[in-house]
Chain A
Amino acid sequence: MIKRLIPAVAVGALMVFGGYAALFIAPDESTMHAIQRIFYFHAPSGMVALMAFTICFIANIGYLVGRKPYWDWLAVAAAEVGVAFNMVVLITGPIWAKPAWGIWWAWDARLTSTLVLWLLYISFLLLRDLIADPDRRSMFSAIYGIFLFLDVPLVYFSIRIWRTQHPQPVILGGSGRLDPTMYKVFDLCILALTAVMVMLIRQRYQLERARYEVEELRIEAERQISAVGQA
Chain B
Amino acid sequence: MNTARAATTILLKEVRAEFRARELLNTTFIFALVVVVMFSFAFDPTAAESRRFGPGLLWIALLFAGSLMLQPSFAREHANDTLDALCLAPVSPFAILLGKILANVIFLGACEVLLLPIFAVFYNVALIPVIGRLVFVLALGTFGLAVTGTVFSAVAAQARMRELLLPLLLLPVLVPLLLAAVEATAGLLSDTPELQTTWIELLAGFDVMFFTVSWLLSDFLLQE
Given the known inter-chain contacts A130-B159, A144-B152, please indicate yes or no for A157 contacting B202, CB distance below 8 A. Answer: yes
Of the candidates B180, B205, B209, B220, which one forms a contact with A143 in the assembled complex, judged by CB atoms under 8 Å apart?
B220
For window 116-159 of A, CB contacts with B under 8 Å fall at 116, 119-120, 123, 126-127, 130-133, 136, 139-140, 142-144, 146-148, 150-151, 154-155, 157-159
CB pair A155–B175 under 8 Å, yes or no, is yes
- B interface size (C-beta, 8 A): 31
Of the candidates B156, B160, B172, which one forms a contact with A119 in the assembled complex, judged by CB atoms under 8 Å apart?
B172
Given the known inter-chain contacts A120-B173, A143-B220, A146-B217, please indicate yes or no for A154 contacting B202, CB distance below 8 A. Answer: yes
Of the candidates A136, A143, A147, A165, which one forms a contact with B210 in the assembled complex, judged by CB atoms under 8 Å apart?
A147
Chain-A contact segment, one of B100-108, B133-141, B161-169:
B161-169
Given the known inter-chain contacts A127-B165, A130-B165, A154-B206, please indicate yes or no for A147 contacting B213, CB distance below 8 A. Answer: yes
- Nearest to A163 among chain B residues (CB) is B179
Interface string of B132-160 (1 = CB under 8 A from A): 00000000000000001001100110111
CB pair B173–A148 under 8 Å, yes or no, is yes
A161 close to chain B: CB less than 8 A: yes
B221 close to chain A: CB less than 8 A: yes
Of the candidates B151, B169, B209, B210, which one forms a contact with A127 in the assembled complex, judged by CB atoms under 8 Å apart?
B169
Given the known inter-chain contacts A147-B173, A161-B198, please indicate yes or no for A139 contacting B179, CB distance below 8 A. Answer: no
- Nearest to B196 among chain A residues (CB) is A165
Tell me, in angstroms, the Cα distance from A133 to B175 when the chains sit together: 30
CB pair B209–A150 under 8 Å, yes or no, is yes
Q: A144 — which chain B residues lie within 8 A by C-beta?
A: 152, 155, 169
CB pair A127–B159 under 8 Å, yes or no, is yes
Q: B159 — which chain A residues lie within 8 A by C-beta?
A: 127, 130-131, 140
CB pair A126–B168 under 8 Å, yes or no, is yes
Q: From residue B198, how far is it (CB to closest CB) to chain A in Å? A: 6
- Label chain B's interface by main secondary structure: helix
Q: A157 — which chain B residues lie within 8 A by C-beta?
A: 176, 202
A64 close to chain B: CB less than 8 A: yes
Q: B175 — which chain A residues lie within 8 A by C-beta?
A: 116, 151, 155, 158-159
Q: A143 — which chain B residues lie within 8 A by C-beta?
A: 151, 155, 217, 220-221
A162 close to chain B: CB less than 8 A: yes
B14 close to chain A: CB less than 8 A: no
Interface string of B178-205 (1 = CB under 8 A from A): 0110010000000000000011001001
Q: B220 — which chain A residues lie within 8 A by C-beta?
A: 64, 139, 142-143
10 more contacts with CB within 8 A, not counting A64-B217, A127-B156, are A123-B169, A126-B165, A126-B168, A130-B165, A131-B158, A139-B220, A143-B217, A146-B213, A147-B213, A161-B202
Residues of A at the B interface (CB closer than 8 Å) are 64, 116, 119-120, 123, 126-127, 130-133, 136, 139-140, 142-144, 146-148, 150-151, 154-155, 157-159, 161-162, 165
A–B complex contacts, Cβ < 8 Å, 22 sampled: A64-B217, A120-B172, A126-B165, A127-B155, A127-B156, A127-B165, A127-B169, A130-B160, A130-B161, A131-B158, A139-B220, A142-B220, A143-B151, A144-B152, A148-B173, A150-B210, A150-B213, A151-B175, A154-B202, A158-B175, A162-B179, A165-B183
Residues of B at the A interface (CB closer than 8 Å) are 148, 151-152, 155-156, 158-162, 165, 168-169, 172-173, 175-176, 179-180, 183, 198-199, 202, 205-206, 209-210, 213, 217, 220-221
